[in-house]
Structure 1
Amino acid sequence: MLLDTPRVEAFGAQMGEVLNHGVLTLLMSIGHQVGLFDTMAELPPVTSHELAGAAGLQERYVREWLGGMTVARMVEYDAERRTYWLPREHAALLTRAAGPDNLAGATQFIALLAGVESRLIECFRHGGGVPYAEYTEFHRLMAEDSGALFDAALLDSILPLVPGLPERLVDGIDVADIGCGSGHAINLIAAAYPRSRCVGYDISTEGIAAGRAEADGLGNAEFVVRDVADLGEYERFDLVTAFDAIHDQAQPAAVLAGIAASLRPGGVFLMVDIQASSNLEDNLDNPFATFLYGVSTMHCMTVSLSAGGTGLGTVWGHQKAHEMLTNAGFASIDIAQVEADAFNAYYLAHKP
């Protein structure tokens, strides 16, 4: 059978873009971490020497980085003056000032995932998984990523998704955050609503330590190291939250059942998780689908499997989520969206 030559050529061009973009993500990650995007956004067109001086960096590295950014059309370049600048439209998606819209920060996950590639290859061949402890920077990156969203939207956009919730928090209710990570969300809630009693649970001692440190002076914020598959609370809470945490669990069904048990009758579970379908064919047009399946393969799914879990995966989707919430005993399950968050769906599940 003859090859379709135009199709071969088109795929070759696509593969060239894959290689270019793969390296570009690493360059973007470096630019984010050393503050080059942030610095450029505040400056007029500058030379590589001027940019390096303003950012406190080595000019030779900055110049080569700028070369990559220029050919990738991330920054603009005046060949006559040898000056570079970051368009405002690009800065809106590349700087820390962009808050949750900053996609440059997300490129840090690529290097993180690449660090476990050899371990993952053995999992493909022999089974098992890569444990959470192998991802040395994951906690920090998740705290940075989620922190920007929480600061921008938690109090003003996310909590008000539950009708009447802000008013109840003012009066004082019992709140828990499951898989709280560094605890920033629970600390924001505790600080904004001093009459409410807030507790964060996570298996990570590092995360819990960070939450306690940030909560210094907050008398209504508590942090507990616990495997949330064995939460062990009964009708203690009026509100339970879980931010992008359920799909990572080794035993997500047990976690959801424990959350349901921990809620008082009429309590609400606010579950934030990836916006996707459980059906592969429905995700073909999702602009972040490749990233999501890749993160699932190289982190979320394999971490669960390493603990003997079900390997639910990042892209478990709203159909599976609805099914599992129903099986856990929740009723009146609604899905909402938050304008500041393109990645996630917001599930509002009520306990009868």
Structure 2
Amino acid sequence: MNAPETIRDENSTARSPEHFAARFSRMLNDAAVVIMVSIGHRLELFDLMSRLPPASSDVIAEQAQLSERYVREWLAVMVTGGIVDYDPGHRHYTLDPAHAACLTRAASPDNMAVTAQFIPLTGSMEDRLLDCFRSGEGLPYTAFPRCHEVMAEDSQQTVVAALESRILPLIPGLQQQLQQGIEVLDAGCGGGLALLELARTYPCSRFTGYDLCADAFAETAALAASQGVDNLTFEARDLRDFSESSRYGLITTFDAVHDQPDPAALLRGIAGALRPDGVYLMQDIAGSSVLENNLGHPLGPLLYSISCCHCTPVSLGQGGPGLGTLWGEELALSMLEEAGFVDIRREYLPHDPFNVYFIARRPDPRPQ
């Protein structure tokens, strides 16, 4: 009998310590650059440099109202990492427009500096994760610093900015229904920015957001109240016991199902909460449930890392199954079918290459 073939990645063809050491050195450098990109994003340094002509560290620091010594050291990382150009004769730093198109807020939804924040966020959990590895237990949402903030910023790019132009048109006639007035639920709404945008755009419809953590949507709820948006309601709710009868014309979840304590029960609850003509829109990570099918995934290591450091412990911490970030399209499709959904289809959008959009309907309960 032949031994089973071992799955290896494309970089494993050269089997020498020197080859691996060189590759790992590049990985260490790249990881360091990504952490510094996150700092630059949070301090809005890329946004500032995109507006400045070639400038010294003194000018950049003064314009940013930051310490020059720290800014100069940060710039050294950006220069050696190939992010920022440097003129040693004039000691001027420049952010190339091509790089600014991937690292500034004006570049949204293509601002990759938003995603860079996941690296230091997950790294900050190392000590607590060591305990999880040893005990098999999970962690509460409250254990993760800035998680809601970063997730909301990511959602702003992939979901909120594309609602009218790309996401809602996936469901023919939906925008007209929203104009006329329907009930809409976002289950696991997080920061609730998508709901706020919808509530502003469609005043005749009513919008509800459920999330386990009230602090996730508190800022958005306050903003809606200050703007007089009166067709939007948020509620802190554990969705493992979600059960409402034939109420909603549209239910959405955005990268939320795989984190739940009981994903199967939530999907059954969503199916029962839809009106007979209602539709369910589920955005989740595009990828396979099978590891070897993800070897070529452009963000495979990042997604599995986020899964290990956040999605899995959060689910396990609630007594859930720990499906993980890459629970995969095959399992998602199977669970939708088991929950009773029909007419299930998958859509992929060019602005959001790392997510898949499932669109499904509940069976018509009326006799055929």
Which interval holds the TM-score relative to the shorter structure? over 0.9
Using the alignment, how far apart are the partners of 1:94 and 1:287 within structure 2? 18
Q: 2:289 is matched with which residue?
A: 278
Q: 2:89 is matched with which residue?
A: 80
Is 1:12 the counterpart of 2:26 in the alignment? no
Using the alignment, how far apart are the partners of 1:180 and 1:125 within structure 2? 32
Using the alignment, how far apart are the partners of 2:261 and 2:109 within structure 1? 28
Q: Cα gap change, 1:42/1:331 in structure 2, threshold over 3 Å: closer, same or farther?
A: same
Using the alignment, how far apart are the partners of 1:306 and 1:183 within structure 2? 23
Unaligned 5+ runs, structure 1? none
Q: CA deviation at 1:8?
A: 1.7
- Counting only pairs closer than 5 Å after superposition, residues 46-125 of structure 1 correspond to structure 2 as 46-125=55-134
Q: 2:172 is matched with which residue?
A: 163
Q: CA deviation at 1:81?
A: 1.5
Q: Secondary structure at the match of 2:195?
A: helix
Q: Deviations over 1:158-188 (max 9, x none)?
A: 1111111111111111110001112111111
Partner amino acid for 1:90? H
Partner amino acid for 1:150? V
- Counting only pairs closer than 5 Å after superposition, residues 243-258 of structure 1 correspond to structure 2 as 243-258=254-269
2:298 to 284, 287, 292: 287
- Counting only pairs closer than 5 Å after superposition, residues 125-274 of structure 1 correspond to structure 2 as 125-216=134-225, 217-274=228-285
Q: 1:30 is matched with which residue?
A: 39
Partner amino acid for 1:346? Y
Q: 2:340 is matched with which residue?
A: 329
Is 1:347 the counterpart of 2:325 in the alignment? no
Unaligned 5+ runs, structure 2? 1-12, 364-368
Q: Cα gap change, 1:173/1:119 in structure 2, threshold over 3 Å: closer, same or farther?
A: same
Q: 2:6 is matched with which residue?
A: none
Q: CA deviation at 1:6?
A: 6.2
CA RMSD of aligned residues (A): 1.4
Q: Deviations over 1:53-102 (max 9, x none)?
A: 12111111111111110011001111212111111111111001111211
Using the alignment, how far apart are the partners of 1:249 and 1:312 within structure 2? 9
Q: CA deviation at 1:5?
A: 8.3
Q: CA deviation at 1:348?
A: 0.4
Using the alignment, how far apart are the partners of 2:18 and 2:109 within structure 1? 38
Percent of aligned positions with the same letter in both sequences?
48
Using the alignment, how far apart are the partners of 1:91 and 1:57 within structure 2? 20
Q: Secondary structure at the match of 1:100?
A: coil
Q: Secondary structure at the match of 2:36?
A: helix
Q: Secondary structure at the match of 1:214?
A: helix
Structure 1 moving runs of 4+ over 6 Å: none
CA contact (8 A) 1:208 1:223 kept: yes
Q: Cα gap change, 1:5/1:326 in structure 2, threshold over 3 Å: closer, same or farther?
A: closer
Q: Cα gap change, 1:265/1:20 in structure 2, threshold over 3 Å: closer, same or farther?
A: same
Q: Deviations over 1:220-257 (max 9, x none)?
A: 11111111121221101010000111111111111111
TM-score by length of 2: 0.92
Q: 1:338 is matched with which residue?
A: 349
CA contact (8 A) 1:116 1:130 kept: no
Q: Cα gap change, 1:309/1:173 in structure 2, threshold over 3 Å: closer, same or farther?
A: same
Q: CA deviation at 1:36?
A: 0.7
Partner amino acid for 1:26? I
CA contact (8 A) 1:175 1:197 kept: yes
Partner amino acid for 2:242? L
Is 1:296 the counterpart of 2:307 in the alignment? yes
CA contact (8 A) 1:49 1:59 kept: yes
CA contact (8 A) 1:238 1:263 kept: yes
Partner amino acid for 2:38? S
